[in-house]
Amino acid sequence: METTPRVALQLNIHLTFAEILGLLLLSPDGCLSWEHVENPVESEITDCMWFAVADTSMNMVGEYATMAMDIYTGRRASNLHSFALRLGTVITHIFGVTSPEQPSATVPAQREWRAVPAGYVHPDGMLA
């Protein structure tokens, strides 16, 4: 049993829509599911948010925000697009912040990657 005294600290953290979206969407130990965004319970969403903040370095918050907005706006193809759209609505409802960019109704098709032999020349003249 640990006997070292500990103190409780309160932190005020000011986050943008993109940062909240990034943390809730991309945090490695994220705890949100479709059920959370289809039937949002504020206490569950805020608990997930606090866990994501505690689990993520502040350097990564900006990276997650950029990636999440790329998914949300359709600039990046992702199977998380429709989840990100619904999550954006939940974020606005619970936290009162809105996206600085319009979400995309459609998402670009994901690229299909295939292994090809080294030096293979595609019919369009591009080297693989």
Measured between alpha carbons, how far is residue 29 from residues 24, 86, 118 in Å?
9, 19, 38
Measured between alpha carbons, how far is residue 61 from residues 3, 8, 21, 38, 68 in Å?
34, 23, 10, 25, 10
Measured between alpha carbons, how far is residue 56 from residues 19, 36, 50 in Å?
11, 21, 10
pLDDT in tens, the chain (128 residues): 788 998 988 888 899 999 999 999 998 877 888 999 999 999 999 999 999 998 898 889 999 999 999 999 999 988 899 999 999 999 999 999 999 998 887 766 555 555 555 555 555 555 54
Q: What is the pTM of this model?
A: 0.77
**127 bridge partner residues:** 121
- With tokens 């969403």, the residue in question is 45
